[in-house]
Structure 1
Amino acid sequence: MSRFDSLFGFIRDHYRSDAAIPLHAPAFIGQEKTYVMDTLDSTFVSSVGAYVDQFEQRMAAYTGSARAVATVNGTAALQVALRIAGVSAGDYVITQPLTFIATCNAIAYCSATPIFIDVDRTTLGLSPQAMDEWLQQNAQLDDQGRCVHRADGRVIRACLPMHTFGHPCDLDGLMTVCSRWHLGLVEDAAEALGSRYRGQHAGTFGRLGTLSFNGNKILTTGGGGMILANEADGQRAKHLTTTAKVPHPYEYDHDELGYNFRLPNLNAALGCAQLEQLDVFLAEKRQLAAEYAEHLADSELTFVSEPPHCESNYWLNAVLCPNASARQALLEASNQSGIMMRPVWRLMNELTMYQQAPAGDLSEARWLADHLVNLPSGVRASIPSEAT
Structure 2
Amino acid sequence: MYKDTIDFIKTLYPRQDFIPLHEPRFIGREKEYLTDAIDSTFVSSVGAYVNKFEDEMADLTGARYAVAIANGTGALHIALKLAGVSSGHEVITQAFTFVATANAISYLGAKPVFTDVSLKTMGMCPEKLEAFLSENAEQVGDDLINKVTGKKISACVPMHTYGFPCEIDRIVSVCNHYSIPVIEDAAESLGSHYKDKHTGTYGIMGTFSFNGNKTLTCGGGGAIVTDDEEIAKKAKHLTTQAKVPHRWEFRHDEIGYNYRMPNINAALACAQLEQLDSFIKNKRELGLCYADFFIQQKEMKFFTENEGSKANYWLNVLIFKDLMARNDFLDETNADGVMTRPAWILMNELDMFSDCQHDGLANSKWLEERLVNIPSSVRIDSL
Contact 1:27 1:382 survives alignment (8 Å) = no
1:187 aligned residue (173, 184, 189)? 184
1:198 aligns with 2:205: no
**In 1, distance between residues paired with 2:76 and 2:153?**
17
Aligned pairs for 1:16-165 within 5 A: 16-144=14-142, 146-165=143-162
Report the alpha carbon displacement of residue 143 of structure 1 after superposing the two structures with TM.
2.4
How far 1:18 sits from its partner (Å)?
A: 4.2
**Residue correspondence of structure 1 range 163-312 to structure 2 within 5 A:** 163-230=160-227, 231-300=229-298, 301-312=300-311
> What code does the residue aligned with 2:160 have?
H
Matched, 1:7 2:5: yes
Query: Do the aligned partners of 2:169 and 2:202 also contact (CA within 8 Å) in 1?
Result: no
Counterpart residue number, 2:353: 354
Deviations 1:65-92 (A, max 9, x none): 1111011100000000000111001000
In structure 2, give the amino acid aligned to 1:172: D
C-alpha distance in structure 1 between counterparts of 2:15 and 2:259, whole Å: 39
- Per the alignment, in what secondary structure is the counterpart of residue 224 of structure 2? strand
The residue matched to 2:96 in structure 1 has which SS? coil
Contact 2:210 2:218 in 1 (8 A): yes
Letter in 2 for 1:80: I
Question: In 2, Cα distance between the equivalents of 1:151 and 1:328?
Answer: 38
Unaligned runs of 5+ in 1: 384-388
Distance 1:284 1:131 in 2: 34
Q: Work out the percentage of aligned pairs sharing the same amino acid.
A: 49
Q: Report deviation, 1:246.
A: 0.7
How far did residue 353 of structure 1 move? 0.3
Post-superposition shift, 1:16? 1.2
In structure 2, C-alpha distance between the alignment counterparts of 1:312 and 1:322, rounded to whole Å: 24
| TM-score normalised over the length of structure 2 | 0.98
Larger displacement relative to structure 2 (4-13 or 368-377): 4-13
Three-state SS of the structure 1 residue aligned to 2:182 is strand
Whole-angstrom CA distance in 2 between matches of 1:50 and 1:117 = 42
Deviation of 1:135 after TM superposition, in Å, equals 1.3
- Runs of 4 or more consecutive aligned structure 1 residues displaced over 3 Å after TM superposition: none
Q: 1:62 to 1:96 in 2, by over 3 A?
A: same
Tell me if the contact between 2:125 and 2:167 (Cα under 8 Å) persists in the aligned partners. yes
Following superposition, the deviation at residue 381 of structure 1 comes to 3.1
Aligned-partner Cα distance in 2 for 1:246–1:343: 46
Aligned to 1:386: none
What SS does the corresponding residue of 1:51 show, helix, strand or coil?
Answer: helix
Instruction: Provide the C-alpha distance between the structure 2 equivalents of 1:200 and 1:136, rounded to a whole number of angstroms.
Output: 28
Q: Distance in 1 between matches of 2:39 and 2:177?
A: 54
The answer to whether the aligner puts 1:314 opposite 2:313 as a matched pair is yes
Give, in whole Å, the separation in 2 of the partners of 1:172 and 1:50.
35
Equivalent position amino acid for 1:226 in 2: A
Tell me if the contact between 1:25 and 1:382 (Cα under 8 Å) persists in the aligned partners: no
Output the amino acid matched with 1:63.
T
Secondary structure in 2 matching 1:178: helix
Cα root mean square deviation, aligned: 1.1
Secondary structure at 1:184 match in 2: coil
Work out whether residues 213 and 224 of structure 1, in 8 Å CA contact, stay in contact via their aligned partners in 2: yes
Q: In the TM superposition, what is the alpha-carbon distance from 1:382 to its structure 2 partner?
A: 9.9
Tell me how far apart the structure 1 counterparts of residues 334 and 25 of structure 2 sit (CA, whole Å).
22
State the Cα deviation string for residues 143-188 of structure 1 (Å, max 9, x = none).
Answer: 22x2111123210011001100000111121011101111010000
One-letter amino acid matched to 2:76: L
Preserved CA contact (<8 Å) 1:192 1:315: yes
Following TM superposition, by how much is the alpha carbon of 1:307 offset from its aligned partner in structure 2, in angstroms? 0.9
Q: State the 1:131 CA deviation.
A: 1.0
Measure the CA separation in 2 of the matches of 1:152 and 1:130: 19
The offset of 1:189, in angstroms, is 0.1
Structure 1 residue 223: deviation in Å? Answer: 0.3
Q: Equivalent residue for 2:373?
A: 374
Number of positions where the alignment pairs a residue of Structure 1 with one of Structure 2: 380
TM-score by length of 1: 0.96
Q: 1:303 corresponds to which letter in structure 2?
A: F
The separation in 2 between residues aligned to 1:381 and 1:53, in whole angstroms, is 30
